[in-house]
């Protein structure tokens, strides 16, 4: 006779009877939690927090347990401030004295059948950080799942893809937003609109890190609202949206493999911007006018500052500079590393028909200008000669402006490059001074690629949204 298993919850322990054995597990996970049922002590990590759309009197959190399962927390009214002060993002806690409640379909962002209701009386105790509690949680949706969610009044999905481009847009109601284009695992392109609240929140969306990331850059989005119109599926941010660069997930690994197997992508085939701005106009802007903005110029490199290194050693996770530590590397953000990347950081002057500006060409733009990674360039017999080839090559450059407080001069960072005419360059006067140093290669290069594109037109309407429901106090995330 086959023996069955039985599970009992006894205070803070979970007791499992199976085949004559009795197993006692401390700190049960969230898998057994159900509305109106037992609420044992749980050990969890806090991953996200947000104020739901049209629920200003609520504050929500996303928790994950040691099994990698997520559950949503809700707290309301006067409890919000108290709970917020006791839960920190990425903090680990033991939580007791709470209730399991029914899922609110309007605010739910994950599929767990229950939510946790916390209050001022809840017992929240910090515990030591542990690798047993994951630092990320996703529920990525397939195309079929997105189609089904789009039929709901408010379908919510997580999405992941290979980053292709980013653009600034304005809706018909004059509402600014950012649009990212990504390629998904079915090799189709998808557009994601991030409204201002998310697009301008650095802890939700680090635009510069994405634009400067080594290709292929994998970007994951949480809690996107999915809709379907005559152009197909469209995704846009909600108050619960977070954006992650190169997440630690099997889907990210598969996307990188897919990208690397495809044909090489040549920068000369990129679409050409039609809104380039003269450099002389940019030099007239005030420091207060340039914050958070990007511009496109049509210019050429006319000088390379040879007294500066044209590369730097970077953290493979966050791309910031690292320091040598014996046989390893130290990143102030990510700690000790076994290896580091060599990435472009070329100090130049770029010039158009109206004037010139000092420009720093970072890795992505450097790869697009030179057609190779920094590691590939350093492997050549004469890398300086190849580097010299970018002088006089006219291109469209996506830039960010910076105001030098010391010299009071305007300078720029070049994040991306595309060419106006394939295999054609316009020569302008140039100079190269000094001796250029050659870095030592560190890691093998990766090949950028292209795939089949299914183009979709954006059509976001935000003028007919429902009236906002105010709670007892407005909260901000």
User: What is the DSSP annotation of 254-288?
Assistant: HHHHHHHHSPBPPGGGSPPPS----HHHHTT--GG
What percentage of the chain has pLDDT greater than the value 70? 79
**Of 224 and 421, the one with more pLDDT:** 224
Task: Report CA Rg, the chain.
Answer: 26
The tokens describing 356, both together, are 């010139």
Domain membership of residue 7 (yes or no) is no
What pLDDT was estimated at residue 460? Answer: 54
264-286: average pLDDT: 66
Domain membership of residue 341 (yes or no) is yes
159-173: average pLDDT: 89
Arithmetic mean of pLDDT over the chain: 81
Based on the domain organization, do 97 and 226 belong to the same domain? no
What pLDDT was estimated at residue 316? Answer: 87
- CA torsion, points 106, 108, 111, 113, in degrees to nearest 10? -90
Rounded to whole angstroms, what are the CA distances from 234 to 157, 162, 179, 251? 11, 16, 11, 21
Residue 84 confidence (pLDDT) above 50: yes
What pLDDT was estimated at residue 350? Answer: 93
Based on the domain organization, do 185 and 247 belong to the same domain? yes
Based on the domain organization, do 110 and 202 belong to the same domain? no
d(CA 470, CA 221): 27
11-32: average pLDDT: 57
What pLDDT was estimated at residue 445? Answer: 40
Cβ neighbours of 67 (radius 10 Å): 13
**Residue finishing a domain among 197, 230, 261:** 261
Based on the domain organization, do 298 and 422 belong to the same domain? yes
What pLDDT was estimated at residue 43? Answer: 96
**Of 291 and 282, the one with more pLDDT:** 282
CA 404, distance to chain mean position in Å, is 28
Q: Residue 476, preceding bond cis, omega within 30 degrees?
A: no
d(CA 127, CA 454): 48
d(CA 458, CA 189): 12
What percentage of the chain has pLDDT greater than the value 90? 44
**Residue finishing a domain among 261, 280, 295:** 261
**Residue finishing a domain among 416, 433, 450:** 433
**Of 293 and 159, the one with more pLDDT:** 159
pTM of this prediction?
A: 0.59
Range of the domain at 104: 23-126
What pLDDT was estimated at residue 294? Answer: 86
Based on the domain organization, do 238 and 318 belong to the same domain? no
d(CA 12, CA 312): 52
Residue 12 confidence (pLDDT) above 80: no
Domain membership of residue 65 (yes or no) is yes
Based on the domain organization, do 295 and 386 belong to the same domain? yes
Domain membership of residue 448 (yes or no) is no
301-317: average pLDDT: 85
Least confident of 52-61, 166-175, 263-272: 263-272
What pLDDT was estimated at residue 420? Answer: 63
- From the list 412, 137, 324, the residue with the least C-alpha distance to 249 is 137
Cβ neighbours of 308 (radius 10 Å): 15
Confidence of residue 477 (pLDDT cuts 50, 70, 90): low
Q: Which of 14-23, 214-223, 398-407 has the highest mean pLDDT?
A: 214-223
**Over the stretch 349-405, which tens digit does the pLDDT of each residue have?**
999 989 999 999 999 899 888 888 898 988 888 888 888 889 988 889 999 999 888
Total residues belonging to the chain: 477
Based on the domain organization, do 147 and 216 belong to the same domain? yes
Residue 293 confidence (pLDDT) above 90: no
Based on the domain organization, do 100 and 122 belong to the same domain? yes
**Of 134 and 267, the one with more pLDDT:** 134
What pLDDT was estimated at residue 110? Answer: 95
Confidence of residue 429 (pLDDT cuts 50, 70, 90): very low
Based on the domain organization, do 282 and 380 belong to the same domain? yes
**Of 141 and 456, the one with more pLDDT:** 141
What pLDDT was estimated at residue 212? Answer: 84
Domain membership of residue 465 (yes or no) is no
Domain membership of residue 14 (yes or no) is no
Cβ neighbours of 173 (radius 10 Å): 11
Based on the domain organization, do 412 and 287 belong to the same domain? yes
Domain membership of residue 305 (yes or no) is yes
What pLDDT was estimated at residue 475? Answer: 52
Based on the domain organization, do 294 and 410 belong to the same domain? yes
Confidence of residue 444 (pLDDT cuts 50, 70, 90): very low
Based on the domain organization, do 291 and 157 belong to the same domain? no
d(CA 276, CA 286): 19
**Over the stretch 88-127, which tens digit does the pLDDT of each residue have?**
999 999 999 999 999 999 999 999 999 999 999 999 999 9
CATH number at residue 180: 2.40.50.140
319-347: average pLDDT: 88
Domain membership of residue 276 (yes or no) is yes
In the chain, how many domains are there? Answer: 3
Least confident of 66-75, 317-326, 347-356: 317-326
């Amino acid at each position: 006779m086959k023996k069955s298993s039985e599970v009992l919850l006894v205070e803070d322990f979970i007791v499992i009877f199976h085949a004559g054995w009795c197993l006692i597990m401390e700190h049960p996970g969230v898998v057994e939690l159900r509305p109106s049922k037992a609420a044992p002590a749980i050990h969890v990590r806090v991953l996200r927090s947000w104020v739901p759309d049209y629920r200003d009197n609520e504050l929500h959190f996303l928790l994950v347990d040691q099994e990698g399962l997520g559950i949503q927390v809700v707290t309301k009214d006067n409890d919000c401030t108290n709970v917020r002060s006791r839960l920190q993002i990425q903090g680990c806690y033991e939580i007791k004295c709470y209730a399991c409640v029914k899922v609110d379909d309007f605010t739910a962002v994950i599929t767990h059948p229950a939510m946790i209701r916390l209050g001022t009386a809840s017992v929240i105790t910090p515990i030591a950080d542990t690798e047993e509690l994951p630092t990320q949680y996703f529920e990525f949706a397939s195309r079929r799942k997105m189609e089904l969610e789009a039929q709901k009044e408010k379908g919510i999905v997580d999405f992941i893809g290979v980053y292709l481009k980013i653009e600034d847009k304005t809706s018909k109601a004059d509402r600014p937003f950012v649009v990212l284009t990504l390629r998904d695992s079915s090799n189709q392109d998808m557009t994601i609109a991030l409204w201002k609240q998310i697009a301008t929140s650095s802890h939700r969306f680090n635009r510069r890190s994405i634009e400067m990331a080594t290709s292929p850059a994998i970007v994951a989005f949480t809690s996107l609202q999915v809709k379907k119109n005559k152009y197909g599926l469209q995704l846009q941010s909600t108050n619960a949206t977070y954006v992650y660069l190169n997440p630690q997930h099997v889907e990210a690994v598969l996307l990188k493999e897919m990208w690397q197997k495809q044909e090489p992508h040549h920068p000369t085939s990129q679409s050409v911007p039609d809104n380039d701005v003269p450099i002389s106009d940019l030099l007239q802007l005030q420091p207060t006018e340039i914050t958070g903005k990007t511009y496109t110029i049509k210019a050429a490199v006319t000088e390379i500052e040879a007294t500066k290194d044209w590369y730097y050693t970077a953290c493979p996770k966050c791309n910031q500079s690292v320091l040598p530590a014996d046989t390893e590397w130290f990143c102030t953000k990510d700690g000790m590393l076994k290896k580091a990347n060599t990435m472009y950081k070329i100090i130049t002057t770029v010039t158009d028909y109206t004037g010139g500006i000092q420009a720093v060409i970072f890795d992505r733009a450097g790869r697009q200008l030179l057609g190779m990674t920094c590691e590939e360039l350093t492997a050549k017999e004469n890398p300086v000669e190849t580097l010299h080839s970018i002088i006089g090559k006219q291109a469209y450059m996506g830039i960010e402006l910076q105001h030098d407080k010391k010299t009071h001069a305007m300078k720029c960072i070049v994040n991306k490059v595309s060419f106006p005419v394939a295999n054609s360059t316009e020569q302008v006067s140039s100079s190269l001074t000094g001796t250029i140093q050659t870095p030592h290669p560190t890691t093998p290069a990766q090949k950028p690629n292209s795939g089949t594109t299914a183009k979709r037109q954006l059509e976001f309407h935000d003028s007919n949204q429902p009236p906002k429901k105010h709670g007892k106090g407005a909260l901000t995330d």
